[in-house]
Structure 1
Amino acid sequence: MIDPSTEALLRELSPAVLAILVRRGADFATAEDAVQEALLAAIGAWADDLPRDPKGWLVTVAWRKFLDLARADTARRSREERLIAEPPPGPAETRDDTLELYLRCTHPALTPASAVALTLRAVGGLTTRQIAAAYLVPEATMAQRISRAKRTVADLRFDQPGNVRTVLTTLYLVFNEGYTGDVDLAAEAIRLTRELAVLSPDPEVSGLLSLMLLHHARRDARTAADGRLIPLAEQDRGLWRRELIVEGIDLLQDALTRDRLGPYQAQAAIAALHADAPSTAETDWVQIVEWYDELLRLTESPVVRLNRAVAVGEADGALAGLAALAEVEDSVPRRTAVAAYLHEKSGDLSLAASLYADAARHASNAAERDHLTRQAARLNQLLRES
């Protein structure tokens, strides 16, 4: 078995090594294969002792592996003739091309699913098996997805990348997958976003990292031991991780001082107000509504409008919340569940019970369906007892 510290080092170094190969002229797909072979070689060679310059060792071995792969592919012979000669031994290059690697992995030519998979493989250093397990798909299926993604970006130049906002969208998609299999994708997304925050001055990177940390801080309180969802109002706030909340708020405040407000900063501000409140009743709902108004100006998202209706219901009463909900189209996911909550808050238990049951039938996952079914059963029991 590979030592955990060595495995962590390999995962840390692999994106930089891949970026160096691509910058030297290697096509992305073959370079990624070469880096994977170099990592496998390192597992055996480093079993007893690490080289003095691990990064330089990986670059040298990966470059040789790439040349071997390129020579074996006759279709790439003309490309091979243009490659620079193998560099002489010495310290590894210190230039950090990781940001460019992020941008390549999230190029607009890729679908969101492909961008996520390629980012986890090339930048995150996860194996195809780990990514497949996290997304609950066969390894062969994920391998095909990653191969297609690599082919798509194989001939893209570094001066034709995506943009940082596309990278943020990809990382947020990873975070929202949560954790399945043997890879905690929420923690992995936070790790990658921390790296990106070092590389990019964009305040939205700090905004996204803040948002992730503030959500992640509440993770232990979100579900019961039996897997049952626990709504925000019923969560044990003593289980919230204060150190993550403090870090998230500090990051947000720093981002806001740069006066370039974006959607992730606005979402983080809302999450910070929830995290700061001792209880749901003591939450500053008026300020949350104001932040949702800012967020709507930035995105015009129907999901934001739906969440705003909930906040309005808390700040100004259920009837005001229902009036705000009337501006949300019926097709928006979870609208029926929000309607059920607001009607219950207004005192119409019969309609609320019916809406909870309807929302349960259209729930996107088992935990949500179970929660909504319980809500309907609870109200029906109250109606029978009244």
Structure 2
Amino acid sequence: MVCIDPAFPPTSGADLRNFGNALAAAELGPVCLVSVRPPAGPPQPPPANIRVAALTAEGEPRARALGLWRARTEARIPRPALARLEALVREFRPDTILVEGIPLFRLLRPLRPLAGQLILDMHNVESDLAGQLRSAQGSGAADARRLERKAAAIVDRIWVCSRLDREKFKALVSSTVPVDIVANGIPRAEDIPEALRAAPSGGFPSILLVGHLGYEPNIDAAQRLARDILPRIRRALPTARLTLAGRSPAPTVQDLAGLEGVTLVENPDDVGPLLSAAHLSIIPLSMGGGTRIKILEAMAWGVPVIATPLAAEGLDLVENEEVLLAASDEELAAMAIALCADPARMARQRARAHQAVWSRFGPQAIRDAVHSGLGLADEDA
């Protein structure tokens, strides 16, 4: 499995997906989890049957990158990294090579002759995501679409996160390559009590948003939540508090910690205590792609979720039972106030959401999806 950033130990959405898929694959055979970029901290021993390697080292001289031109969605890959990857593949002799998304497109052709099976894992339909981000220029989506079409002609299989992403991708690319749904699983499921815990007491309501706070869609969500939604809630519920937690917060997110009722937790080592103390998670995403790991994690802890339709896109959750959805800040705030005023309804939503996420996105569901996505179900048939 070739990733941009180290997937172990996992810290954010992409890492959590990559590592969860590696764990599932490791039940079938040895896995080599490779990153283009070096690890940030001291090495840690990986789980059984997983080997971890990096293609670059901290502090080594900057080398020429693959290709003279890169699309906006592509990651920079130093030429020595490709040479190291090719040597590693020849030594490890994998049955399957899985590459993380269009950002690593430049690796597909060199890996093609070395792979018995080559899979592209698309965390997002990048051309769709590029069209959503406000900072993207008009050519960004077109460049991503061109790479997606070229990639489909190179690989043997493609993984996507949801049924909706599969529909989007097939509408863009005329290809017979199999497109498998390997959903994002509950992150760090082994550290979460599977039984529904009691609702937290005190400090009601404690609202939580967890995510990579340097990522543009999450920056926008944090600002909406702290500057508009929370003040509306506090007018009805003066003790309402908001915690923003995540890695690498942008300066505009750091500024939010000065607002009344807002706390920022930068680079938390463990979000478990934050989730166990939260009464509610509000996720006002207005742009982004893939399925939302932060929703799965909150629901697995028994935290009710109120979100925009885009935030829950692709999860196929039952509206008004497993998740509450609204588009505007005013509606999101009103839903939060109404839910907090109805303890019986909050308890029902907690229970239904918890059951749904463990059954559909729990470890067994992801193991089955990875098994199928590797083509093993085809071999069995």
TM-score, structure 2 as length reference = 0.24
Larger Cα Rg: Structure 1 or Structure 2?
1
User: Larger % of strand: which?
Assistant: 2
Comparing both chains, which one has the higher relative contact order based on Cα–Cα distances under 8 Å and sequence gaps of 6 or more? 2
User: Larger % of helix: which?
Assistant: 1
TM-score, structure 1 as length reference = 0.24
